[in-house]
Structure 1
Amino acid sequence: MITQSHEYKPDVLGAGYEQLTLNFPDDYDGKVTATLVRKKADQPTQKAVLYIHGFIDYFFQKEMAEQFNQHGYDFYALDLRKYGRSHLAHQKYYYVLNLNEYDAEITEALNIIGQEGHSSVVLSGHSTGGLTSTLYAAHHPKHPLIKALWCNSPFYDFNMPLWKKKLALPKLSALGKRLPKLQFPSELNKWYVTSLHKDLKGEWDFDLEWKKKTYPKVYLSFIRSIYEAQKEIHTGVQVNIPALIMHSHKTTYPKKFNQDAQTTDVILEVKDIIKYGNKLQGDLTVMTIQNGLHDLVLSAPPVRAEVYQKLFEWLALKDL
């Protein structure tokens, strides 16, 4: 196999991490870039993983990358357009009109991974990235590289009462088509980032500009783009590769910082993940992680150790 080299530069995560800027045609806001981050395994391998972060997020989970490296995978992650490393001064953070906009960087990243000598890719996504990666896998059933899908608490439904889903969401989505820049209360639990960051009440070091402590309002364009993508998921899309859907054991809504904020999903309703995860068609495994946070790989040490054990056991079982 002939491999092609690309001009990576050192990444903010330090030794062994490299980044590559991906350029795309201008969109409705102007210049657009995405960023591919790479961490290679110690030994040459044809296996790789491509990770896609969630909303108000970016790639910083070094332990996850190194776990994949230790199990014989080169690790790649995307910072999507208008997120993290890819955000440009003229752009509104996280602004999107349709989740399919991200197909361009996922496709380009996969092309690069293939050019760099890989024949097998685990496509992975967390939260909104789990929704995006599921739909990408469903829309590209014959992609030559994608051999498995691993979703970490995918955003398969909005976490809100049924009456809001039935009455408010369709109206907000319709309004979002006409007034995409209108903002609406996000209702995100304020304790989530607090439970993670080392300077607050967690153990992780990340950039609080790129992954903000609070985000009180979202653009209606985001609500519309998610709603339209979820409608497709809710019909039960076909996924032609083995898929592993992981989620916490329960959802809570802490009003003050407490143990629930450190041992449950405070962002999405896990019952929705289970319901719609099980509607996917194909070789599917939906798995509960006891005491998991919304981002399962940021949970307490014994919890995330179980995540990795179960993940790599599953990949071995599927011969991936």
Structure 2
Amino acid sequence: MEYREDILGAPYEAAELPLAADEEGAVSATLVRRPVPGARQAVLYLHGYTDYFFQTNLADHFTAAGFSFYALDLRKYGRSLRPHQSPNFVRDLATYDEEIDEAVRIIREVDGHTRLLVNGHSTGGLVAALWASRRAGRGLVDGLFLNSPFLSMPTSPALRTLGAPAVQALGRLAATRKLPAPLNPHYVHSLHRAHKGSWDFDLVLKPAEGFPLYAGWLAAIQRGHRQVRHGLRVDCPVLLMASTASTTTDKWTPALHHTDAILRADDIAALAPRLGPHVTTVRIEGGMHDLVLSGEQARTQLFTELDRWLAAYFPPPAA
């Protein structure tokens, strides 16, 4: 494995992680790192849906706190997406275990970190929680930090229940069928500096209209949600953060700048106790869906709460 300069530039490095091929051909993930010399603690970041790692303010905060920072662009996302692949597509969320396990091995065994925090946003939060539950008892992860994790569909319970059998059947019979569910572009517009936001990122890797929604992927998400509802067994401390409010709209509104415009924040918070026995839930006033990209006041609250939690569960190693 060889690191090269990342698309973000120094001090970020990236390495390709070759994975087992699937029905579409060769597959790989991308491990991005920003090491802190001598650090014994590390964080591994997992991005959301139609997303990739670009949140350098998050990495700045962790490295200032003495953590080496790592991020995975999962297979068929961002840096890892190849021309022959269907963006974001997997048939089972457990498929991601391969690249997460390999990233954790590198962080612990190759780079020598002794404590690991896994930080997942949105779909990455769901993936992280399911992975941590499957790896319970192995001592691979010492804590989870979940930023607006995708634990439930942003629809009513009745619609979720009624629609699930049809989606599961379609996922089995026509997994790559594209479903008519385009992403609302106003959320990305609320983030990007070229529109109405404050941040710079690649609109090819994170397009405002999103990528196609595949039946097999949606069926995999539904199965993950069912596992959460039935209860996971994450055995490390969990910090779950969500906004205090959500907005559902297909038009531009200033509320997009201070609410979760993708998921139902109340549903996320309600499901937090299903993750494991040791979960701390924090609601962020004025938080957007990706809380670390929220306005300054909300970001200040987020990082203050994160630091309080880290002081309890990830204190600096003794000299």
Q: Please give the range of the TM-score, normalised by the shorter of the 2 chains.
A: over 0.9
* 1:280 shift after superposition: 2.2
* 1:123 shift after superposition: 0.7
Answer with 14-23 or 136-145: which moved more.
136-145
Q: What are the ranges of 5 or more consecutive residues in structure 2 without an aligned counterpart?
A: none
CA–CA separation in structure 2 for the residues paired with 1:188 and 1:213? 7
Match of 1:3 in 2: none
CA–CA separation in structure 1 for the residues paired with 2:307 and 2:23? 41
What secondary structure does 2:162 align onto? helix
Deviations 1:91-148 (A, max 9, x none): 1111111111110000000000012010000011000000000011111112334100
What secondary structure does 1:34 align onto? strand
Please tell me whether the aligned partners of residues 242 and 287 of structure 2 are also in contact (alpha carbons under 8 angstroms). Answer: yes
Letter in 2 for 1:285: T
Q: What are the ranges of 5 or more consecutive residues in structure 1 without an aligned counterpart?
A: 1-5
Please tell me whether the aligned partners of residues 18 and 38 of structure 1 are also in contact (alpha carbons under 8 angstroms). Answer: yes
1:273-292 alignment runs, 5 A limit: 273-292=268-287
1:74 to 64, 68, 78: 68
Please tell me whether the aligned partners of residues 244 and 287 of structure 1 are also in contact (alpha carbons under 8 angstroms). Answer: yes
Match of 2:91 in 1: 97
Match of 1:85 in 2: 79
Equivalenced residues, count: 314
Please tell me whether the aligned partners of residues 129 and 275 of structure 2 are also in contact (alpha carbons under 8 angstroms). Answer: no
* 1:87 shift after superposition: 0.7
TM-score, normalization: structure 1?
0.95
2:135 to 131, 134, 140: 140
1:20 to 15, 26, 30: 15
1:156-195 alignment runs, 5 A limit: 156-186=151-181, 188-195=183-190
Runs of 4+ residues over 3 Å off in structure 1: none
Please tell me whether the aligned partners of residues 191 and 199 of structure 2 are also in contact (alpha carbons under 8 angstroms). Answer: yes
What secondary structure does 2:274 align onto? coil
Q: Percent identity?
A: 39
CA–CA separation in structure 2 for the residues paired with 1:60 and 1:76? 12
CA–CA separation in structure 2 for the residues paired with 1:173 and 1:304? 38
Please tell me whether the aligned partners of residues 182 and 209 of structure 2 are also in contact (alpha carbons under 8 angstroms). Answer: no
CA–CA separation in structure 1 for the residues paired with 2:314 and 2:124? 24
Q: CA RMSD in A?
A: 1.3
What secondary structure does 1:48 align onto? strand
What secondary structure does 1:38 align onto? strand
1:64–1:77 CA distance, 2 compared to 1 (3 A): same
Match of 2:30 in 1: 35
Deviations 1:279-302 (A, max 9, x none): 222111011000100000000122
Please tell me whether the aligned partners of residues 185 and 216 of structure 1 are also in contact (alpha carbons under 8 angstroms). Answer: no
1:231 aligns with 2:226: yes
Deviations 1:1-37 (A, max 9, x none): xxxxx52110011120000100012111100010000
1:307 to 285, 302, 318: 302
